[in-house]
A and B are shown apart, each in its own frame.
Chain A
């Protein structure tokens, strides 16, 4: 068991009126590729941020490889985040003043690794992403799809045990979106990187192996993919339509 979440809650506002997360229990095995879906405002980002140690839960626990996240002290937290987690956001993933190459290498540079090690890892990651021609460019000179590829590259640069992504395809067109999801599944398949992806795009979600649906901060449903992606896509659509009618009835 890589990630174990027990009875996780996150309340916001005065008297905790907003229950962003309301008793989430889930576990993630090593090598999983999980999609998290749900309507807007259902708590997906909150959940991901708590796993990413960017946010703190109101109650409950999150264990990564048996280690309780909320117990890691502030000083070690960023080092932990850098080495154990890789995070990709919808936007603002890259630093404008750095080249693509420097952006990729950033996690290892911050760890003060020797330059030769950095160069070695760099050539590995670049080969994996297929972005050889972009290396000397700056973030404003590359497309949105390329930006996300680089962001994924940086997220896996330190070989994290868990890769997290919050709507990584939110700003992309279908073609680029599919390419990015393909990259996630390739990384998951070939390198066994455990991945959690938040998305509300059913087609993007169909690349995952499992999907968790949440609504109003609670787990609503969970489905697993068979061999066929098309079939999985239809399955997702079914759950989503249920999800929205259930909401309508309410």
Chain B
């Protein structure tokens, strides 16, 4: 048997450790990559009107990415800790530290790369699935059909960087490794760490203070408070898990009559240990879920509310379709005949009129003959100038006549134009008048998509199309909110699963010795169940609380009543999902510790 054989055997025996590490990597890649795919998706129609909104969404996503990166770092660290004992043994057998470092590099690189590839592939699949599925349900075009090269590259860079940092850390750890420590005492017993009561109290004050500020926020100070409140809660939460919770369990231990009763003693004392062990993971899960839940609730509320409706121009124009042809030199008319065909196919009777416009300067200004204006808009007021990006010609009933991206349109006497036409670019404006059906916008989509403005110099304007774009945008937000809630829940769930799975092996040995000490399987199950439930419910409840506080700050007075019901529904839904997930994990965990 050569040294190589020993290592081969040893690697085979360590498959569970690799598996955990692999899964953790794959899921982090999944979350980060899926997030980036959306950020970089060029097809997503996130209209420029909602630019703040898009930025906020991206900021949230970037925060999530940072926390996921922390998670992968954590799983790397766990992996190394698991392997350290074997590495110590190799050192005793005479392996040089430099070779050990190389071995560690090969091992983790293989597993890491496999995890990375799996994560990317599964994400691509999942993304297509979610987008296709929800696009069908929400009745909007699909956005998934693009190869996210940029997202892949960025994901790769992020994960390569983490890997590089981790390799440096493990190099240092391996070189400093105290071999004796591992061999003499075998499994390192976790020592009871001292609880820092002042820090626990500070944590409580920070969280409560943050909540207070969130609850008492007003329109005036909303923006000044966002950063301090988020910081207070994010810092406070860490102290909450690292000091406050263990302190609470310690106080429970002091209550003799309760503590010295049945399995209470077991789970309370055990929780005091484990909450310290779980601190980072619970913290990460809480932050991920809080952000995800807040984002989801906010986006969902906005996407489904009347506030969003207010953004959509709901006036219908006098001329439902207008085609502006800016290049007078191009003879091949494409869009107009297509519209004519569409309208006659749909058996809609229409009238079509074409007039000339003369654009000047940067093409945001145009001239129109007075007679043409009279002809098109009988009884129209003077053009409204300098209002928005659109020409709003209002008729006598103050209805919008047409929708054009021209800032100023000046009506000019016919003979003036006739005299000076040479200096201007001539454009033609074709207007269709008919009674617009409800789904006009959707029917115009293929025509609009096939029209290449660069080539044809034609632009299609229709309030129906405009409305439809808004409709798609809102639905897209809805879709995105679902997309992210799925990704966040899956990730939070996986972190918990990872941690429990990681623990079950050690816990199994512990519970087996409990069994021999005379504990009944029922008592062991009870103790384990209380612990899993606590570890599960804590982050869920904390994130729901955080999301509720954030929502109450955003909603305040004057928010539509549907916000409240929506938010409640989402919270109940989250609880429901978590409870189901809890039962899944619990049964797996119990089966693992008590075969």
Please give, as numbers and ranges, the residues of chain A lying within 8 Å of B263 by CB-CB distance.
110
| Residue A223 lies at the interface, judged by CB distance under 8 Å to chain B | no
Pair B518/A112 contact, Cβ less than 8 Å:
no
Contact digits for A100-125, partner B, Cβ 8 Å, 1 yes 0 no: 00100111011010010010000000
| Residue A237 lies at the interface, judged by CB distance under 8 Å to chain B | no
Docked complex: B492-508 residues within 8 A CB-CB of A: none
| Residue B554 lies at the interface, judged by CB distance under 8 Å to chain A | no
Docked complex: B250-282 residues within 8 A CB-CB of A: 256-257, 260-263, 265-266, 269-270, 272-273
- Which residue of chain A lies nearest to B265 when distances are taken between CB atoms in the complex? A109
Please give, as numbers and ranges, the residues of chain A lying within 8 Å of B3 by CB-CB distance.
none
In-complex Cβ contact of A110 among B190, B510, B516, B523 (8 A) = B523
Report Cα–Cα, A195/B260, bound state, in Å: 29
| Given A89-B516, A140-B189, A78:B523 Cβ within 8 A | yes
Query: Please, how many residues of chain A have a CB less than 8 angstroms from a CB on the other chain?
Result: 31
Pair A98/B269 contact, Cβ less than 8 Å:
yes
Please give the distance in Å from B393's CB to the nearest CB on chain A: 79
Please give the distance in Å from A95's CB to the nearest CB on chain B: 7
Grouping DSSP codes into helix (H, G, I), strand (E, B) and loop, the A interface class, with mixed when no group exceeds half, is: helix
Please give, as numbers and ranges, the residues of chain B lying within 8 Å of A110 by CB-CB distance.
262-263, 518-519, 523
What class of interface size applies to chain B in its complex with A? 20 to 34
| Given A105-B260, A110-B263, A115-B260, A95:B518 Cβ within 8 A | no
Pair A96/B190 contact, Cβ less than 8 Å:
yes
Report Cα–Cα, A209/B261, bound state, in Å: 38
Report Cα–Cα, A118/B261, bound state, in Å: 10
| Residue A30 lies at the interface, judged by CB distance under 8 Å to chain B | no
Report Cα–Cα, A112/B523, bound state, in Å: 12
Please give the distance in Å from A54's CB to the nearest CB on chain B: 6
| Given A79-B520, A87-B516, A95-B514, A112:B261 Cβ within 8 A | yes
- Which residue of chain B lies nearest to A113 when distances are taken between CB atoms in the complex? B260
Pair A106/B265 contact, Cβ less than 8 Å:
yes
Report Cα–Cα, A75/B273, bound state, in Å: 29
| Given A105-B260, A109-B262, A140-B191, A97:B520 Cβ within 8 A | no
| Residue B184 lies at the interface, judged by CB distance under 8 Å to chain A | no
Pair B260/A109 contact, Cβ less than 8 Å:
yes
- Which residue of chain A lies nearest to B509 when distances are taken between CB atoms in the complex? A92
Please give the distance in Å from A162's CB to the nearest CB on chain B: 13
Residue in B262, B263, B519 whose Cβ sees the most chain A Cβ within 10 Å: B519
Report Cα–Cα, A84/B521, bound state, in Å: 18
Q: Can you report 30 residue pairs joining A to B where beta carbons are below 8 Å apart? A: A52-B516, A54-B516, A75-B522, A78-B520, A78-B521, A79-B520, A82-B518, A85-B518, A89-B513, A92-B513, A93-B513, A93-B517, A95-B266, A95-B517, A96-B190, A97-B192, A97-B269, A97-B270, A97-B272, A97-B273, A98-B265, A106-B517, A109-B262, A112-B261, A115-B256, A118-B260, A138-B192, A139-B189, A140-B189, A140-B191
Which 5 pairs show the lowest CB-CB distances between chains A and B? A78-B520, A92-B513, A82-B518, A97-B269, A140-B189
